[in-house]
Chains A and B, each alone.
Chain A
């Protein structure tokens, strides 16, 4: 029971991370296709500037929670995917300093460089996160201790690549909806129109990945009805994105997009359960939540402490967001 709660806590933290930092990453990735001037790019950065660091902490805290709650899984997965993990770290660093340092100099070349770094590193991060999730759902070739046996190129299988593409378009849509909600004027309106256009790509990618998941996992999908329900709920939320974007209502479109992502993540987690690291069908090994966790007493205490802390985080984050809610406007280009 505590193992299940720990699994849900980490899954929940990673989901919150996806919903929050997802719009930072998505807005950054789509920014070159959305904005027309440097001032508009500044407005996109300003819309996420006060929040991205707090959003990213959800990833750091989830990593630490995995460390505390499932040390074996933490050790095996992080060292098993050594190079991809280090590349993710480098990209996260680039993304972070791009946001923070871009505003420190008024120079044109300076800003353009960091804008490019910001967009490219964010797009690659989404792709890598998507590919990682795809491989976790599909399963991995593992040895008896749970260490990864496959090659780098085996991680880039068609299924994982399809999940990567879905992640890119879905988070780009999420980022557009966020910009539409946060930025006043023509840029916000254009972002909302782009949601309507990108929606079709998201829809096709969703159908393709759903079909591929059924094909990959047909033998055991029936045993996790939650994944089917969550997947259908995600489809409903995706429909709501289309509906609200068409009616020019940014805030509900953003919430619908968040629900869509949440539905996908719940479906993914439900297909993985009870595995933290699932073996590829037919292969041995794998780590379940029961093998990978410390004794119940420790686990329960850790869960209690982190739940109380996270509840406080949610309260004061919401408070700060409300106080900082002033909409962003595009400043004219006179300074650059």
Chain B
């Protein structure tokens, strides 16, 4: 195997596994802050218990997010030395700011959240919950700044030896590409967080236990999911598409499976790309719609893949399918959240098992949609590692061989399998114990250090 392919597989595996956990932390942290805030201001017992329950779930999520995040930071150096040496003075900057301005904040105050219930005042405790939320989002922002620069490099100059140097930090950090990408990422995480709340609540209602909590989680979760799933599509998704159209037209063509340039390009709802035949098999088209979405004009010309050299094409199938999975799921989220919100308004949701089942079973899908979105962004960026500036093929470490990368990839797969099993086991166990002070029959009391008991 080509060493670059082995490096890419390792990065894809470790980042996709890692990203499952930031989705959870970014998506659940606002709800923990919200429940703590309400418990502090109203003294409501239910909110207090809800905050404590979601903090326990968050703790497992955060722990696995942290330990799987550390390799990400260092893999740039271990596996992508040529890329790091060439671009480090640019992308090292937001990574350092992430550490200094966000990761410290999140970690230091999470210590308060997990161990400080009986050591600090309720006001400081609630403030810590809010700070952890801000830290989680800020952390995400700086990481997205790195990726946005790789998608659309700004604020740099080329120095001696072809090194890329930072010229304008503000242009890098406040890049509009990064702002819309971050907004899309974070609303996607709240879709996940909202559906997690609603799904766990639906489980309690269906199981006829912890009913008060079930209702509260379903109510809050459905409303959050409805608002965020709308925001994911408009304006954040729409503006991301605009940026892709403007700066990465080849990616756009691959996403849409558009091989031949045309005026009034149709939008493929479904269809299978046949790259060798340069066509979509069995497509269902919405006529002229792609031209309208891309350029606001039904007759506008959209450039197809064949107007570019094949050497500049990303892997078309993966980009196309990931994009369609993301968009399809996004549409389903709106439908499910709107349907549930309608039943909630009619006061029938809690007594409609079919709707509760839908909320329960939809829980994994926001994760799939988020991962698919990143596949579109990153696979669609190929063959570039920094769009237009550096090819992925030239970015790997010159002195690391395929065997080493495959060995460590296997090690990561084994380690992450263990982590995944532990995560599911501990999270499902906390859901089984439930949020009430007195555990449900059959539940096991939580292990207690003094601080947690």
Contact = CB atoms under 8 A, between A and B. Distances in A.
B280 interface: no
A33 interface: no
Given A71-B87, A324-B112, A101 B426 contact: yes
Contacts of B68: 93
Interface string B25-50: 00000000000000000000000000
B73 A63 contact: yes
Given A68-B93, A101-B422, A82 B85 contact: no
A37 interface: no
Contact of A83 (B63, B93, B404, B452): B404
B163 interface: yes
Contacts, number: 228
A306 B107 CA distance: 17
A89 B77 CA distance: 13
A67 B88 contact: yes
B449 interface: yes
A313 interface: yes
A70 B85 CA distance: 8
B348 interface: no
Contact of B88 (A71, A82, A86, A147): A71
Nearest to A294: B89
A61 B111 contact: no
B398 A147 contact: yes
B444 A78 contact: no
A310 B104 CA distance: 9
B96 A68 contact: yes
Contacts of A72: 85, 88
A298 B71 contact: no
Interface string B323-354: 00000000000000000000000000000000
Interface string B117-132: 0011000100000000
Interface string B91-113: 11101111111011101111110
Contacts of A86: 71, 78, 408, 411
B451 A46 contact: yes
A225 interface: no
Nearest to B76: A67
Interface in A291-334: 294-295, 298, 301-302, 305-306, 309-310, 313, 316-317, 320, 323-324, 326, 329, 331
B114 A67 contact: no
Main secondary structure of the interface of B (DSSP, over half): helix
B115 A68 contact: no
A65 B101 CA distance: 13
B104 A79 contact: no
Interface in A197-242: none
Interface stretch (A52-60, A166-174, A261-269, A275-283): A52-60
A326 B119 contact: yes
A144 interface: no
Given A78-B78, A93-B67, A71 B120 contact: no
Interface residues of B, number: 76
Interface string A96-124: 11001101111000000000000000000
Most chain B beta-carbon contacts within 10 A, residue among A42, A50, A320: A50
Contacts of B397: 75, 79, 82
A158 interface: no
Given A79-B81, A147-B398, A324-B120, A306 B104 contact: no
B348 to A, nearest CB: 37
Interface residues of A, number: 65
B82 interface: yes
Contact of A103 (B103, B404, B452): B452
A247 B70 CA distance: 41
A66 B96 CA distance: 9
B309 interface: no
B241 interface: no
A320 B59 CA distance: 19
Contacts of A51: 111
A329 B451 CA distance: 11
A46 B415 contact: no
Given A79-B81, A86-B78, A103-B449, A298 B96 contact: no
B111 A79 contact: no
Contact of B85 (A60, A75, A316, A326): A75
A305 B166 CA distance: 14
Contacts of A301: 169
B447 A310 contact: no
Given A96-B63, A100-B60, A324 B115 contact: yes
B279 interface: no
A76 B85 contact: yes
B201 to A, nearest CB: 22
A64 B60 contact: no
A69 interface: yes
Nearest to B10: A86
A61 B69 CA distance: 13
B89 A61 contact: no
Interface in B431-451: 444-451
B81 A75 contact: yes
A83 B79 CA distance: 11
A54 B99 contact: no
Given A61-B103, A76-B85, A294-B163, A93 B450 contact: no
A28 B355 CA distance: 49
A298 B165 CA distance: 8
Most chain B beta-carbon contacts within 10 A, residue among A57, A306, A326: A57
B74 interface: yes
A41 B430 CA distance: 24
A54 B71 CA distance: 17
22 contacts: A42-B449, A46-B451, A50-B115, A54-B108, A57-B99, A63-B77, A67-B76, A67-B84, A68-B93, A71-B88, A72-B85, A78-B77, A78-B78, A104-B430, A105-B429, A106-B444, A106-B447, A305-B97, A305-B100, A310-B100, A320-B108, A323-B124
Interface of B: 59-60, 63-64, 66-68, 70-71, 73-74, 76-79, 81-82, 84-89, 91-93, 95-101, 103-105, 107-112, 114-116, 119-120, 124, 159, 163, 165-166, 169, 397-400, 404, 407-408, 411, 415, 419, 422, 426, 429-430, 444-452
Given A51-B111, A64-B96, A65-B96, 8 more contacts: A64-B98, A75-B81, A105-B447, A305-B169, A310-B100, A313-B104, A323-B120, A323-B124
The 4 closest A-B pairs by CB, nearest first: A71-B88, A78-B77, A68-B92, A61-B99
